Amino acid sequence: MSGIFEYNGGSIVGMKGKNCIAVACDRRFGQQMSTITTNYQKVFKIQDNILLALSGLNTDIHTFYALMEKEINLYNLKENRKMKPTTFANLVASALYERRFGPFFVTPIVAGLENGKPILATYDSIGCKSDLDDFQVGGTGGNYIYGACEAFFKPDMSPEELEEVIGQSLVSGCDRDALSGWGGVVYVLTEQKITVKILKTKQT
């Protein structure tokens, strides 16, 4: 089953800071060792305070994002308020578990800010949530990025420090993974704004 997750390649990473949170992804979309395009979007804005990063099978990435977009729009209409990041994290888990007998081949990372507190969660394919770590990784380069995150991470980073650290971790991991690369994008979420930075990585 792991081969299905790796078929299109790509890597994602999320990391907590002090009153901020960041998500980064590479830009490659391929079919195994063939590169199809180099400007592929893997991070989606759900709300002003929630970002969803998805790696895995291309078709399931788009299907799962469309499902989450529908669910959050229905919630906003019904409740007449914005969804909390912790609620959205649980929604992702239940949506994955609902499809456990025919799962979505995606690895989601949910990043959000709730009253200034960073919320970060990742999941397996049947919705088991992991939200205890200060950083989370996914995709084909996840193991390489995890090692870089362990080396670079420090608690209570400012948005500027967080942007630099998560960017260096992504670049370091993508340089070691044949199915990731062709540039990267870093999204830093604070209570005031979302900043986006484009990175250069190996072009092969």
Q: 3-state SS string over 89-104?
A: HHHHHHHHHHCCCCCC
Give the pLDDT confidence score for residue 22 in this predicted structure.
Answer: 93
Indicate if the alpha-carbon torsion angle 163, 69, 66, 92 is positive or negative. Answer: positive
Residue 63 is classified by DSSP as H
Per-residue tens of pLDDT for the chain, all 204 residues: 468 888 888 899 999 999 999 999 999 888 888 888 888 899 999 998 999 999 989 999 999 999 999 999 999 999 999 999 999 999 999 999 999 999 999 999 999 999 889 999 999 888 899 888 889 998 898 889 999 998 998 888 999 999 999 999 999 888 888 888 888 899 999 988 899 888 887 666
CA-nearest of 188, 151, 164 to 49 is 188
DSSP letters along 19-40, please? S-EEEEEE--EEETTEEEES--
Give the pLDDT confidence score for residue 4 in this predicted structure.
Answer: 83
Contact 185, 16 (CB under 8 A): no
Q: Which amino acid is at 182?
A: W
Give the pLDDT confidence score for residue 28 in this predicted structure.
Answer: 87
- Give the span between the Cα atoms of 180 and 38, in whole angstroms: 10
- Give the span between the Cα atoms of 146 and 11, in whole angstroms: 11
Give the SS3 label for residue 161: helix
- Give the span between the Cα atoms of 118 and 14, in whole angstroms: 11
CA 162 → CA 23, 152, 166, 188, 190, distances in Å?
10, 10, 6, 8, 11
